[in-house]
Structure 1
């Protein structure tokens, strides 16, 4: 076997919240099913991070590998959609059970599809759920809902799903545990001249061509999907780390913020990337008309939009839509103050306009929270040259 060249040790940039993606190759047992052989070290890494006040969302593969073992009548070569769908359904509980055995804290399974994250209403609900789980000190275990998204099973999309989840929860870092030390200039398993790449500042076309195809019989993703995930994360201002989850020493050092692997940096800040996205998401017809006090709170104090500052809502927009927030200039002419993703529809907003946050549930019979538009979902248009 080729002797792999070692990655130099480097310090991990500071982070508070991260998404850790663990692939099937780190969980599959040689005889079939799942094994804690490598998962134990990764669980210890997560526990160490939690002990230091950090938050982690775990994106875990392994369901198909686990289900394949339970479906004794199916051979490992059976890759039909129906068979893989059944394997994924059976294996989901096995995957979560494996992780739960390694923690003395509660875990929560969260199954997502890309449609859940493309649809703005589902996006809000998914983010609210994950944020609340983290607040309760629960470890979310996320997987793609393979039983209804079988077309994506062959794409290794848990890498890309992890990047999307990282952006969803405003993570600082995307950690991808794989079965190889990091990114090389070529496939190190077949090319003895392959050189390790410790750090990447920009994912150029040349860097992308260095990625090979899938390298494991149990997983569906190769290095290319990991670089695609890093590219998505970078666009959201999130850095990515590729490391060998099979190497106990590498995992142990990572808990001490020392990396032997590849760090993929980004030039965009998280705030810049998010604000840019919010600024360019198409707004629906209609607007939220707010008073002068709300304009000051949003523009000068960086506050969320609360129902008390709303005069009325115009249009027929729904919860999760991108809506313009309009105030009145000194001359009395309306102008767009900000735009953001609303937590309430227009009809609901007109029912709670001018009220205190504590009155929302009384007026509607339910509540999606005290913020009509949360400050994290809001961008001030005047910051981008649009003046009253």
Structure 2
């Protein structure tokens, strides 16, 4: 038994996000240490061998940069100094992780604006999906070199929860330096009891999580629970486990958890459909023929350009739009979804085959006007 945590079996999953913080990577004398990273990388490789996909959200750039210049930068140092260390350390961090894998790793740096702006959000999602199709390991971090304090995502726990929703993950794995969640801080209270399952969040539970955990990182168990709460709202389960224990990671690769499992508030599909149904739509609509409407309604198909008859209004890529079907009785709403192309672009590719998109526009955001994952029937 690990820290009083019994073993529980995780449900099947296909895609996950793994968050690894600075406390697991920072070396005692500065820089990055393979001490814990080797077993974490082994977990990622075991998942890939089983046909699963993992996106890694990794801290450690500032720690790596600090070792390069031998700087002792305080947590409250001017942001420009911390940004400079992050810029120095990013290349080191990528090289560090690449050393554990034969397949390529790919750096993806995101900012608050990338995730707030719907078009950039879609671009980030498309890039991550393409990297996974190419069997690369995406390594995500906040783009600290251009972020400003008032627009920072806060910490990589929050970023990991956002990325989990971005890539439609089923589970968010958060590696910590303790065995899981307790009902009190186990470093201060020897009688603290393990919390193996969180079915719902309460003020008492969040208070028990406390504050920051180590000098190397920016967040403790509280930020991890906040991230788990965010993920739960998107229909994603969260697993908190001890990333310093190779035996825990070996078991986790076989869906055996010794740690804390946080249940999602609702199913991932229900959370996604709720957002699609309630997000405000832009004025205008995409008008489709009967065949395209039938394909969406009866087969759950994406909307392809060949089925588009007309476009109303002037919306942009990434906007929520109404989809209307034109038949002998007029036009009726049939669905709503996130448009992969602007109204101007759709007018140019309407009634054309998907393979002609790039020749017509000079670029290609995919073969569908509205992908079925971004579409809900009305």
Name the TM tier (shorter chain): over 0.9
Encode CA deviations 1:42-82: one digit per residue, 9 max, x unaligned: 00111111101110000000111111122225445662212
Mapped partners of 2:151, 2:300: distance in 1: 42
The alpha-carbon deviation at position 241 of structure 1 amounts to: 0.1
What is the match of residue 337 of structure 1? Answer: 334
What is the match of residue 135 of structure 1? Answer: 133
What is the match of residue 112 of structure 2? Answer: 114
Worse-superposed segment, 65-74 or 121-130? 65-74
Q: 1:10·1:259 contact (CA, 8 Å) conserved in 2?
A: yes
Encode CA deviations 1:132-189: one digit per residue, 9 max, x unaligned: 0000100000001111124179875210111111111111110000111100001110
Mapped partners of 1:173, 1:204: distance in 2: 21
2:376 paired with 1:379 = yes
Mapped partners of 2:11, 2:313: distance in 1: 45
User: SS where residue 299 of structure 1 aligns?
Assistant: helix
Worse-superposed segment, 365-374 or 20-29? 365-374
What is the match of residue 186 of structure 2? Answer: 188
What is the match of residue 221 of structure 1? Answer: 219
Cα RMSD after superposing both structures:
1.6
2:315 paired with 1:317 = yes
Matches within 5 A, 1:1-388: 5-76=3-74, 79-151=77-149, 156-328=154-326, 331-332=329-330, 334-381=331-378
The alpha-carbon deviation at position 303 of structure 1 amounts to: 0.3
The alpha-carbon deviation at position 249 of structure 1 amounts to: 1.2
Q: 1:106·1:138 contact (CA, 8 Å) conserved in 2?
A: yes
TM-score (norm 1): 0.94
What is the match of residue 386 of structure 1? Answer: none
Encode CA deviations 1:226-267: one digit per residue, 9 max, x unaligned: 111111111111100000001111111111111110000124
The runs of 5 or more residues in structure 2 that have no matched partner are none
Mapped partners of 2:134, 2:164: distance in 1: 19
Q: 2:289·2:327 contact (CA, 8 Å) conserved in 1?
A: no
User: SS where residue 35 of structure 2 aligns?
Assistant: coil
Mapped partners of 1:230, 1:274: distance in 2: 17
Q: 2:112·2:151 contact (CA, 8 Å) conserved in 1?
A: no
User: SS where residue 215 of structure 1 aligns?
Assistant: coil
Cα distance change, pair 186–91 in 1 and its aligned pair in 2 (3 A): same
Mapped partners of 2:71, 2:20: distance in 1: 28
Mapped partners of 1:83, 1:226: distance in 2: 26
Mapped partners of 1:5, 1:246: distance in 2: 13
Encode CA deviations 1:265-293: one digit per residue, 9 max, x unaligned: 12411111001011111111111011111
The runs of 5 or more residues in structure 1 that have no matched partner are 382-388
Mapped partners of 1:208, 1:167: distance in 2: 22
Q: 2:112·2:153 contact (CA, 8 Å) conserved in 1?
A: no
Mapped partners of 2:362, 2:100: distance in 1: 41
User: SS where residue 29 of structure 1 aligns?
Assistant: coil
Worse-superposed segment, 102-111 or 67-76? 67-76
Cα distance change, pair 299–373 in 1 and its aligned pair in 2 (3 A): same
User: SS where residue 6 of structure 2 aligns?
Assistant: coil
The alpha-carbon deviation at position 346 of structure 1 amounts to: 0.7
The alpha-carbon deviation at position 376 of structure 1 amounts to: 0.2
User: SS where residue 157 of structure 2 aligns?
Assistant: helix
